């Protein structure tokens, strides 16, 4: 298989498991070096070993995406390590399943801090570097919950609608600067976060590898949106 991202450098947040881990490996298989950002050092080191086994470089950078200073330091560390970053996948997030009437505002704010503001902090940390070099790929894991609210996911849905709206605008504003903004809209994905969730047959849990392959396709084709898997998402 011809590698299409040789000599490219990428950042992936939430890289210690799930879609983040799968994306890091998918990018590495295409020849990209990968900076891995998350909170769990042991799991990041395990992913880094998998990435290096594919013949590319991996850098482990610890950061909580809710801490803007930590995140900026991690992104700057990736730039210092690789010299230039071509791809940034804003992927980290958490899931909360609770009926809207039973949520506290503290829970909702916590979700927004992680899923919305955490991913904005990632984008704002890499944006000066992309602007200085005249381009880059900013890829965001949203969710089909950012297009259609499904009970009992009110707080999670709110964060994903916010991401969808914000990055739609950012995509239009940044394309003149050569910066591609692409959004991935997964249906339910088979990750530890939703291991306890039963899904209907019409929208079964998809493999994280399918999401990761969509990220690669989004980058290579400069796609604005990817619905994954397409048919269940449309249904």
Q: Which residues are tagged catalytic?
A: 156
**Backbone phi, psi, residue 88, to 5°:** -130, 120
- Please give the Cα distance from 186 to 163 (Å, whole number): 13
Residues 90/182, Cβ–Cβ less than 8 Å = no
For 146-159, the DSSP string reads GTS--TTBHHHHHH
C-beta separation of 143 from 167 below 8 A? no
Q: Which residues pair with 182 in a beta bridge?
A: 139
Query: Backbone phi, then psi, for 229, in 5-degree steps?
Result: -70, 145
Tokens 């949203």 — which residue? Answer: 142
Q: Residue 112 has what DSSP assignment?
A: I
Neighbours of 214 (CB within 10 A): 26
Exposure of 99 in the CB half-sphere (CA atoms within 13 A): 2
CB 181 within 8 A of CB 140: yes
Rounded to 5°, the CA angle 178-229-55 comes to 60
Phi, psi of 181 (to 5 degrees): -110, 120
């Amino acid at each position: 298989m011809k590698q299409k991202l040789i000599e490219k450098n990428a950042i992936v947040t939430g890289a210690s498991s799930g879609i983040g881990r799968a994306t890091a490996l998918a990018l590495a298989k295409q020849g990209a070096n990968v900076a891995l950002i998350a909170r769990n050092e042991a799991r990041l080191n395990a992913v880094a070993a998998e990435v290096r086994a594919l013949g590319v470089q991996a850098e482990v950078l610890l950061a909580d995406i809710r801490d803007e200073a930590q995140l900026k330091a991690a992104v700057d560390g990736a730039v210092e390590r690789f010299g230039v970053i071509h791809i940034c996948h804003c992927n980290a997030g958490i899931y909360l399943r609770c009926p809207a009437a039973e949520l506290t505002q503290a829970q909702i704010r916590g979700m927004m801090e992680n899923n919305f503001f955490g991913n904005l902090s990632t984008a704002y940390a890499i944006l000066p570097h992309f602007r200085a070099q005249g381009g880059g790929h900013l890829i965001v894991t949203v969710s089909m919950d950012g297009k259609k609210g499904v009970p009992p996911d009110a707080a999670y849905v709110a964060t994903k609608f916010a991401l969808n709206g914000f990055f739609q605008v950012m995509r239009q504003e940044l394309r003149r600067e050569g910066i591609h903004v692409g959004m991935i809209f997964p249906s339910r994905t088979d990750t530890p976060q939703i291991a306890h969730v039963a899904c209907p047959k019409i929208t079964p849990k998809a493999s994280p590898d399918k999401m990761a392959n969509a990220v690669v396709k989004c980058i290579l084709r400069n796609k604005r949106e990817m619905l994954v898997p397409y048919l269940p998402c449309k249904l």
